[in-house]
A and B are shown apart, each in its own frame.
Chain A
Amino acid sequence: MTRNMIIGVTNFLVYVTLQVLVFQNLVVFDVGFVFVYIIFLLLLPMELSFSGIMLLGFATGTIVDVFYNTLGIHASACVLLAFVRPYWTRLVTPRSGYEVGVLPTLNSFGLGWFITYALPLIFIHHSTVFIIEAGGINFLSMSLLKGLASSILSLVFIVAIQYLFFKNQR
């Protein structure tokens, strides 16, 4: 548990910093944005309570918002992500089931499971951000295109990061 907590705090500091300093400036073809900081929310322990995840999501989103100058938008998307995550994890339980104390990382349950777990959540988060940014459903197709492109891009980065840094942690 303590180990997970240390991992969580490190994740938070590293990825939020990376997000606001590096990935904020990365835009691919005007539609691909990278919001890599949500890896922190995705990799939170399974045992964490509903409200705990949501409060953490709110805090993370607000901090990112401060740097993006979009106060409330990322916070709202992160809270939504945190609200959906427990339901989604219940639906996509791997065959072996979850073990207590094991983080839902790529190494724990495999690449296939991780993509099924992460992609829909990332997509929900990203489309929420873009829809709120567009001020409603006026530019829905553009928002969803951005959401999809950015989700795939973010997923690539999130998987790559885990291959790079989480390899030997188990």
Chain B
Amino acid sequence: MRKLFQFLYRYRAFFIFLVLQAICAWMIVANNNYQRTVYLNTTSRIAGSVIEKADNVSDFFSLRKVNEDLAEENARLRQLLLNSNVSIPDSTSFITIPSDSLDSMEYIAHSAEVIRNTIRNTNNFITLNKGSKDGLMAGMGVVNKDGVVGKIRSVSSRRAQVISLLNTNNPISSKLLRTNRLGTIQWDGSDPRTAKLLYVPVDVDIQVGDTVVTSSFNAIFPKNMMIGVVKSAKPDIHQRDYEIEVKLSVDFGALSYVSAIENRLKPETDSLSVQNPGETND
């Protein structure tokens, strides 16, 4: 210990220099916008590359699980295809083909991989490995095979940041599938497996096990995307609304591949509401 103090004392000038420079660096980063941006960009680039490398390794070990998920989804899609009533083209009968199949597509899904995800904070964010170069834009909804994951908050050229559904500032317009009653899904910041369904009045018939899906009233998600099922419902202390707990269908602890959903008609919808000001309230 004495040796240590001797050492510190001998090089005290250098240590004082380091301390003062550290204070300066802190003041620079805390008070100057441009320097702070440079600092944040540099650190996030370094952290990003480290996280990506680590993620590559962990990806390798989750390949089996991902494969199973994909196979399962393939089977489900094939099932849908079989059940859909599109007749197989028969050369002897007339079939009608839409003139341009692109026009009839309202939603486009872009697949992406989750490279960073938190679930334990009050406001959680997810980082995707794709960005504006791959067609992702701020405001697009993000889902995986089980249901709604969140929406994109900002994109850079090769990364996108998603506000997770597990974020207390991310309400999502939703409805009860059986009764078509609208409500709002909002996470309360405690349990990553459940969220609250708000603004459902007590006169609504509600049962444990009811499915909660996205409503058609938002331009971010297609309607009837799965969110979760009602876990418990009881009237709140004012007997006005239900306090509903919804068990989320997405396992946020094990997110790996997701799809970002592009609504091709969103610009059109938005411009229509801009043309008629005063008639919308959002």
Is B42 an interface residue when CB atoms closer than 8 A count as contact?
A: yes
- The CA-CA distance from A147 to B224 in the complex, in Å, is 63
Is B62 an interface residue when CB atoms closer than 8 A count as contact?
A: no
Is B17 an interface residue when CB atoms closer than 8 A count as contact?
A: yes
Q: Within the complex, what minimum Cβ distance (angstroms) separates A127 from chain B? A: 16
Give the residues in chain A near B17, CB-CB below 8 Å: 54, 79-80, 83
- Known: A76-B24, A76-B28, A132-B28. Contact between A51 and B34, CB under 8 A? no
Question: What secondary structure prevails in chain A residues at the interface with B?
Answer: helix
Q: A71-B27, A79-B17 are in contact. List 4 more A-B contacts (CB 8 A).
A: A54-B13, A71-B28, A71-B30, A132-B28
- The CA-CA distance from A75 to B16 in the complex, in Å, is 14
- How many contacting A-B pairs (Cβ < 8 A)? 65
- Known: A75-B24, A75-B27, A76-B25. Contact between A135 and B16, CB under 8 A? no
- The CA-CA distance from A50 to B18 in the complex, in Å, is 13
The answer on a CB contact under 8 Å between B20 and A54 is yes
A50 — nearest CB in chain B belongs to which residue? B13
How many B residues touch A, CB cutoff 8 Å? 22
- The CA-CA distance from A126 to B34 in the complex, in Å, is 19
Give the residues in chain B near A58, CB-CB below 8 Å: 20, 23-24
Is A17 an interface residue when CB atoms closer than 8 A count as contact?
A: no
Residues in chain B within 8 A of chain A (CB atoms): 12-14, 16-17, 20-21, 23-32, 34-35, 37-38, 42
- The CA-CA distance from A73 to B35 in the complex, in Å, is 10
Q: Which residues 20-76 of A sit at the B interface, judged by CB distance below 8 A? A: 50-51, 54-55, 58, 61-62, 65, 70-73, 75-76
The answer on a CB contact under 8 Å between A135 and B34 is yes
The answer on a CB contact under 8 Å between A132 and B35 is yes
Q: Which residues 82-132 of A sit at the B interface, judged by CB distance below 8 A? A: 83, 86, 132
Give the residues in chain B near A136, CB-CB below 8 Å: 38, 42
